[in-house]
Chain A
Amino acid sequence: MEVQGTVPESHPPKFTLPVDTEHKATEFRLFSVAAPHMRAFHLAWVSFFSCFVSTFAAPPLLPIIRDNLNLTSTDIGNAGIAAVSGAVFARLAMGTACDLFGPRLASASLILLTTPAVYFTSIASSPVSFLLVRFFTGFSIATFVSTQFWMSSMFSAPVVGTANGVAGGWGNLGGGATQLIMPIVFGLIRHTGADNFTAWRIAFFIPALFQTLSAFAVLIFGQDLPDGNFRGLQKSGDKPKDKFSLVFYHGITNYRGWILALTYGYCFGVELAVDNIIAEYFYDRFNLKLHTAGMIAASFGLANVISRPGGGIISDVVAKRFGMRGRLWTLWVVQTLGGVFCIILGQVGSLSASIAVMIAFSLFVQAACGLTFGVVPFISRRSLGVISGMTGGGGNVGAVLTQLIFFKGSKYSKETGITLMGVMIICCTLPICLIYFPQWGGMFCGPSDKQTEEDYYMSEWSSTEKEKGLHHASLKFADNSRSEKGRRVKAAALPTDESSPTQV
């Protein structure tokens, strides 16, 4: 079998969806399960959804668990922080694992390795054991990174924001769905005659089993890239194996990754913190039944079904006209508005107003998450996984910080904590102004005339590596990303942009 560069030509594969030169789909068809693109999408979001369900399965049942395990507010706060802190480094590790081993193996391994923690939640017997199971279960939401990496590998620039947004949003949905599912499962089990203190334990088997089965599905039906799996492509020479140290280096030295890591902490991180506290907030403040508090809390996470995808779609729509600059501006505006609604949420005192403001807050904050991952795929091509991991990890850091500062113990009432969190969102969103792409511009500065997309993405490869031909995938990506210039600039630019590129 001949090996020609990076173009697999043993038999040109036929794809159901239209594809670009990297065989990434240029269309996103939600109701299709065609392999490999849409199938990967459905596997990714369902497995990620299951991880979210498990990680946030405890909060809606806390009114029962806190009495069974004799927890104090401090214990609960610590467990909530533990649940999201494990994933900080797990996300970064996951990003690197995706770059090196592919999203299919990386995500399925993590999911199966964390399911024991969910099963063991059933046998927790003290504040310490509760904290430990929540800590280890929380590692599973690092599958966010593999989801985004997988989508960025399967879908092309014009639809990557949408694909990332829908996959991420429908996965995050798990955080809301669990607030509905767990009280219902708990109620059903109690109906069969079990005590409160036994019923919640049995209930945890449901998310655990769901997680196990989704991992199996990923392993059996999933595929890393449009052309095949990492291992297969590496063996046939179609995909060069990259070095961990270089992939890592090029990821962490890109300042844009760090800025997005910070800002993502204040849309996604805030979402996680709220997932942890919102059911208890409504239960305690408005004296609601467990079931009712769970339903209201659920609607916060359930908004993800449209809000995060909406953010991704808006990112792509804005980019058609205004390119990357439009993506950045929209992200800043939407996330800042999320902060404003958060401030208002802490201030309103009536139940119906609280619910209305909470829904508005959730829409904006989750759309900001979708908008963030409309920008991430363009920051690096070689180290896409590391950048995704940094941003994702930053999200969890934000969740840890927010809960530590505002929701631990009894220092602030939950209402005050929520208002202050809103202020912090607005402040920590400002750094988006500092992101600048030489070939496309930033929020306040236009693009430089001298730098092209190729210059930007080729800067990640040394000349020796280019001689070996390792950079071809990045070249293709650079060409496919030219749409980020936006329409106005394209019209004024040289006509060679539209024609197919000539590869060296």
Chain B
Amino acid sequence: MAARGLLLASFLLFSCFAETYGMISFSSLPRTLVVTASHRQGLLKADEDKITVIWGLNQSFPAGTDSAYTTIKVKLCYAPISQVDRAWRKTVDHLSKDKTCQFKIVSRPYSNTNQTFQWTIERDVPTATYFVRAYAFNAEDHEVAYGQNTDAKKTTNLFEIQAITGRHVSLDIASVCFSAFSIVALMGFFFAEKRKGRKAQQ
């Protein structure tokens, strides 16, 4: 009786900690997925280059580990060097507050076999150093496992992406023209005022 009460209490407590909406912590997730990301050598360009991501369950785990996995979401995540002095990219243990992985590469229903996806880097990805992480979600859409293409300290297999500038030649020309117009107009007004003053004196 007492044992059951204790079990119930601890179960409730556990579920409060782990299953309360938004309170899942990253450190509680097992790393059961294997993720690799391949790309061409050198600096990758947004909107041009592609990254091929392969993910699957790590076979060294016992069977049944993946029984709760319903969806896999693969994300592009900031490496530590790109998080320095940028609080809006901070890594925080509580997943709902974590800002490490801000770009979704792909979302697929979970499958037992290894999955591949080729992703063209999107136009709104900023210049930074990245790695790839995959989260496994259960039916309630809570994270239950993860995998990433880098080590635990996030130092290996990182890659750099360079963003588009967003600038266009037409914008540059418009800026220069409008600026010149403002200055010329000001000089024009001064000139007109002086002429009015001289005329009034005559």
Contacts and interface: CB of A to CB of B under 8 A. Distances in A.
A284 B102 CA distance: 14
A109 B187 CA distance: 9
B41 interface: no
Interface stretch (B52-60, B142-150, B158-166): B158-166
Contacts of A219: 189
Given A72-B84, A122-B175, A197-B165, A112 B193 contact: no
Interface residues of B, number: 34
A267 B127 CA distance: 38
Interface string A84-124: 00000000000000000000010011001101100110110
Interface residues of A, number: 43
B186 A112 contact: yes
B141 interface: no
Interface in A189-221: 195-198, 200-202, 205, 208-209, 212, 215-216, 219
Interface in B86-103: 86-88, 97
B126 interface: yes
A206 B163 CA distance: 25
Interface stretch (B32-40, B65-73, B177-185): B177-185
A63 interface: yes
A116 B97 CA distance: 40
B121 to A, nearest CB: 13
Given A197-B163, A231-B197, A410 B126 contact: no
Interface string B98-130: 000000000000000000000000011011100
B99 to A, nearest CB: 9
Contacts of B183: 112-113, 116
A409 interface: yes
A235 to B, nearest CB: 7
Contact of A113 (B87, B167, B186): B186
A68 B171 contact: no
B201 interface: yes
Report whether over half of chain A's contact residues are helix, strand or loop; otherwise say mixed. helix
B123 A195 contact: yes
B172 interface: yes
Nearest to B97: A287
Nearest to A63: B88
Contacts of A198: 166-168, 171
B163 A67 contact: yes
Given A67-B126, A201-B166, A202-B171, A72 B178 contact: no
A320 interface: no
A202 B189 CA distance: 28
Nearest to A195: B123
Given A115-B179, A119-B179, A235-B200, A201 B85 contact: no
Contacts of B201: 235
A72 B179 contact: no
A108 B124 contact: no
A216 B189 CA distance: 9
Contact of B189 (A74, A108, A122): A108
A125 interface: yes
A451 interface: no
Contact of B164 (A116, A197, A409): A197
B164 to A, nearest CB: 6
Interface string A299-313: 000000000000000
Contacts of A235: 197, 200-201
Contacts of A74: 85
A66 interface: yes
A283 B88 CA distance: 9
B174 interface: yes
Closest 5 interchain pairs by CB? Answer: A197-B166, A116-B179, A67-B126, A72-B85, A112-B186
14 contacts: A68-B165, A109-B186, A112-B182, A112-B186, A119-B178, A119-B179, A197-B124, A197-B166, A198-B166, A198-B168, A202-B171, A208-B178, A235-B201, A283-B88
Given A197-B166, A284-B87, 15 more contacts: A68-B165, A70-B126, A112-B186, A113-B183, A116-B179, A119-B178, A196-B166, A198-B168, A205-B178, A212-B178, A212-B181, A215-B182, A216-B185, A232-B197, A283-B88
Interface of B: 84-88, 97, 123-124, 126-128, 163-168, 171-172, 174-176, 178-179, 181-183, 185-186, 189, 193, 197, 200-201
